[in-house]
Amino acid sequence: MRVRKEARPVRAATGLGLIAVLALLAPVLARSRPWIEDARGESALSAPVPWDPDAIDLERRLKPPGAGHWLGTDDLGRDVLSRLLHGARVSVGAGLLASAVALLVGSLLGALSGLAGGRADRAVLFAIEVVQSVPALVLVAALAAFLPPSFFLAALLIGLTAWTDSARLVRAESKRLRSAGFVEAARAAGAARGRLLLRHVLPHALPPALATAPYVLGAAVLTEAGLSFLGLGTPPPAASWGRSLADARDLLIDAPWCILPPALALVLLVLSARRLGDAVAERSRIGSA
Amino acid sequence: MLAYALRRLLSALATLAGVLTLVFLLFAAAPGDPATLAARAAGGRPPSPEAVEAFRRLHGLDRPLPVRFLSWSIRAVRLDFGRSFQDGRPVRERLADALPATLLLNASALLLSLVAAVPAGVAAARRPGSRFDRTSAFVFDLLFAAPSFALGLLLLLIFSAKLRWTPLFSDPALGLRGLVLPVATLGLGALALLSRFVRTCVAAALGDPAALAARARGESDAAALRRALRRSAGAFSALASVLVPALLTGSVLVERLFSFPGAGRLLADGVFARDLPVVLGLTLCSGLAVVAASVGADLVSAWLDPRLRDGVLEPAAGGAA
């Protein structure tokens, strides 16, 4: 069957890739220290965005977009574009870390539950049910309040609320594989339970969960942004997009240009993640049909 | 049906007990003493040891953990979550003050999104691949990807800052003007979720062999649509278990954005004041709402489709669409 027009994972991945590259390069692209200094220590070649994301300069506050500051400055005179670029590091980093945690926990618990069956299976299903019963943002925000503010802790917490869907998928696959010929053979050959789980079942049970990874990433980015918007998660002065939007709330009248960049960046990131997920899902449907 | 309903209610009670334990244990496991944190949030600087000790006695934090857990959960079952660290009022009272505004916000948003989503989804499903289908899919994808607070900020920018039609801070006491922006923000997010779902369900029902057979017998467009809607009803009710968490999350963010005096803002304020009883109580209440919605959805699905209650068919996961 011919691949339909919509199933283009590569194109869907470009948006995501672009943001990831910008996030990686942000410290090089946006910094006040020039790229090349001449002998007298003066700038010979400055960075394309020659402002540090956290540099406060009250003389330059509330500058509208224009030459010098392409996207303007906020009420502390910080460059919006520089903060946008550096903010990508928080969103992409937290999203990747959280979805990795979610996939790891979900696939291990799912494979365990599908393979072992019985009491372990019921326990994992119950845990899934319980974790899904509290909205992720509510749980993470509530917990983050009683923990020291930290990027890693926030990403970890988000990951620990997002593992349920991958656990369900891996569980269903493992349950099917439990009686598959090669698993029976390995069991008959005396493979230990851990080996059976990690070497024989998990590699085959993982793909459906991996295919949903882009969705998990998109959801994790949204939760992180919400957390930052509430003023939790990555502590200031880190330029996270959610926090930039919370700051922009107070500048509605004085600096409305602060709103669009982080808002659009978030939409683009989440949208490309979801598009990638759709494309992968469609590809795998076509592949199996 | 009765046996199924009883089984489902029992398992929901078990889930709630699990949520209760999870919430309490997580907060107990978090490092940092709640008394010190709350006192610091209130006073701005580290409080004296005597003050912390007095605070601890006042709120029963000096008792051992198992005792606290037991007394907390016994009272929580009666919806008594203790007294707020901030003003000493019972959490239940503060919640009762905030809840009507939140319910009004969520109910209006849900109504708005339903009124728009069903016709939009049906229209898109009737002609898959048409211009309307593609345009609406793109718009709803955008809305779905947009965080509610970013969407709300844009609405605030346009209608409050530029056009000055609506106030910068929302309050249901201001009447319609004070309600329209938060409702629109929350409703647009739900609309994106709902219309995608309606489109998928109705398109699947319309593309079914049974629909083709009916068409061959000369069934009219309207009758085909009615049949498709009826067939989607089961899957549609399963959506409640996805929609309620989405609305709750949106509510917390939107209420904070608009300074809307509801339960979501109460939670955000409680989080900032490190107000343990308020945070625990509200987290538990959000769990209660989600579990109730999912029980309701399952019961409606089972009533519509007997295969579900006899265990012949696994219930559809609402999020899969």
Shortest distance between the Cα of B123 and any Cα of chain A, in A, equals: 21
**Average pLDDT estimate for B152-179:** 84
DSSP one-letter code for A60? G
Give A254 to chain B, closest Cα distance, Å: 10
From chain A, pick out residues whose CB is under 8 angstroms from the CB of B34: 146
Q: A134 and B290 in contact by Cβ < 8 A?
A: yes
Contact A131, A161 (CB under 8 A): yes
Check pLDDT > 50 for residue A187.
yes
What are the Cα distances from residue B133, in Å, to B113, B137, B205, B224? 18, 6, 17, 19
B74 pLDDT above the threshold of 90: no
The predicted pLDDT at position A286 comes to 63
Q: Residue A7 has what pLDDT?
A: 57
How would residue B314 be classed by pLDDT, with cut points 50, 70 and 90? low
| pLDDT (average), residues A267-285 | 87
DSSP conformation letters of B67-115:
HHHHHHHHHHHTT---B-TTT--BHHHHHHHHHHHHHHHHHHHHHHHHH
Residue pair A112/A197 in contact (Cβ under 8 Å)? The answer is yes
Q: Residue A127: its chain B contacts at CB < 8 A?
A: 18
Phi, psi of B90 (to 5 degrees): -60, 140
pLDDT band at B319 (very low <50, low <70, confident <90, very high): very low
Q: CB of B98 within 8 A of CB of B104?
A: no
B253 interaction partners in chain A (CB closer than 8 Å): 137, 226, 229-230
pLDDT of residue B109: 94
- Bridge partners (DSSP) of residue B115 are none
Q: Does the distance separating the beta carbons of B31 and A137 come in below 8 Å? A: no
Residue A97 has pLDDT above 90, yes or no: yes
Out of A92-101, B68-77, B88-97, pick the least confident.
Answer: B68-77
- Confidence grade of residue B317 (pLDDT, cut at 50, 70, 90): very low
Q: How many residues does chain B have?
A: 321
Distance from CA of B1 to the nearest CA of A (A): 22
The pLDDT of residue A6 is 54
Rounded to 5°, angle at Cα B216 from B214 and B217: 65
Which residues on A lie below 8 Å from B268 (Cβ)?
A: 141, 230
- What number does CATH give the domain B97-275? 1.10.3720.10
Q: Which residues of A49-62 are buried (b: 16+ CB within 10 A; e: fewer)?
A: bbbbbeeeeeebeb
Decide if A266 and B146 are in contact by the 8 Å CB cutoff.
Answer: yes
| Chain B residues with CB-CB distance to A266 below 8 A | 145-147, 150
Model confidence over A23-78: pLDDT tens digits? 999 888 888 888 887 777 777 788 888 888 888 888 888 888 888 888 888 888 88
A212-249 tens-digit pLDDT: 899 999 999 999 999 999 988 888 878 899 999 999 88
Whole-model pTM: value is 0.89
Tell me the per-residue pLDDT of A130-176, one tens digit each, with 9 for 90 and over: 999 999 999 999 888 888 888 999 999 999 999 999 999 999 999 98
Give the minimum alpha-carbon distance from A262 to chain B in angstroms, rounded to a whole number. Answer: 8
User: Is the distance from CB of A11 to CB of A41 less than 8 angstroms?
Assistant: no
The 3-state DSSP class for residue A54 equals: coil
d(CA A242, CA A88): 11
Is the pLDDT higher at B126 or at A12? B126
% of chain A exceeding 90 in pLDDT:
41
Instruction: Note whether B287 contacts A137, CB cutoff 8 Å.
Output: no
Tell me the average pLDDT across A107-127: 92
pLDDT at res. B315: 56
Out of A130, A135, A144, whose CB is closest to B22? A130
When pLDDT is cut at 50, 70 and 90, the band that residue A2 belongs to is very low
Say if CB B168 and CB B160 are below 8 A apart. yes
A134 has a chain B CB within 8 A of its CB: yes
Average pLDDT value over all residues in chain B: 85
Q: Which residues of A touch B161 (CB under 8 A)?
A: 252-253, 256
Residue contact B145–A267, C-beta within 8 A: yes
Q: B282 and A138: CB-CB below 8 Å?
A: yes
A245-A248-A251 Cα angle (round to 5): 170
Selected for mutation to probe chain B from A126, A130, A251, A282 (highest B CB count within 10 Å) is A130
Is the backbone peptide bond immediately before B172 cis, with ω within 30 degrees of 0? Answer: no
Distance (Å, whole) CA B58 – CA B50: 12
CB atoms within 10 A of CB B184: 21
For the residues B43-53, what does the mean pLDDT come to? 74
pLDDT higher than threshold 70 for residue A1: no
Model confidence pLDDT, tens digit, residues B218-266 = 888 888 888 888 888 777 777 888 889 999 999 999 999 998 889 999 9
Residues in chain A: 289
Q: What integer best gives the mean pLDDT of chain A?
A: 87
Instruction: Please state at what angle helix A151-161 crosses helix A136-145, rounded to 10 degrees.
Output: 150
Tell me, what's the pLDDT at B45? 67
Name the DSSP letter for residue A149.
Answer: -
Spatial separation of the C-alpha atoms in residues A26 and A31, rounded to whole Å: 8
pLDDT at B321 over 80: no
Query: Which residues share a beta bridge with A73?
Result: A79
In this complex, how many residue pairs, one in chain A and one in chain B, have their CB atoms less than 8 Å apart?
156
Q: pLDDT band at A3, cuts 50/70/90?
A: very low
Query: Do residues B267 and B279 touch, judged by C-beta distance below 8 A?
Result: yes
B149 contacts on A by Cβ (under 8 Å):
225-226, 229, 242, 245-246
- Provide the pLDDT for residue A262: 93
- pLDDT (mean) for B127-134: 88
Residue A221 and residue A95 in contact, taking contact as beta carbons nearer than 8 Å: yes
The answer to whether the Cβ–Cβ distance between B252 and A230 falls below 8 Å is: yes
Write down the pLDDT at residue A168. Answer: 92
CA distances from A161 to A122, A208, B11, B58, B279 (A): 19, 19, 21, 33, 17
* Helices within A30-177 (DSSP H only): 80-116, 118-132, 136-145, 151-161, 164-177
CA distances from B243 to A178, B106, B215, B250 (A): 34, 11, 33, 10
Q: What is the distance in angstroms between the Cα of A255 and the nearest Cα belonging to chain B?
A: 10
Average pLDDT over every residue of B165-178: 79
Q: How far is B265 from chain A (nearest CA, A)?
A: 10
> Which structure tokens are listed for A237?
């002065």
The phi and psi torsions of A43 (rounded to 5 degrees) equal -70, 125
Give the Cα separation of B178 and B170 in Å (integer): 5
Q: What element of type H or E holds A238?
A: none
What confidence score (pLDDT) does residue B312 get?
65
- The proportion of chain A whose per-residue pLDDT surpasses 70, expressed as a percent, equals 96
Predicted pLDDT at A289? 44
Tokens of A252: 């509605």
Residues of chain B neighbouring A135 (CB-CB closer than 8 A): 245-246, 248-249, 286, 290
* Residue B34 pLDDT: 73
The answer to whether B150 contacts A126, with C-beta atoms less than 8 Å apart, is no
Q: Which of A226, A126, A44 is nearest to B10 (CA)?
A: A126
In the three-class reduction of DSSP (H, G, I as helix; E, B as strand; rest coil), residue B45 is classed as: coil
Q: Do A241 and A265 touch, CB atoms closer than 8 A?
A: yes
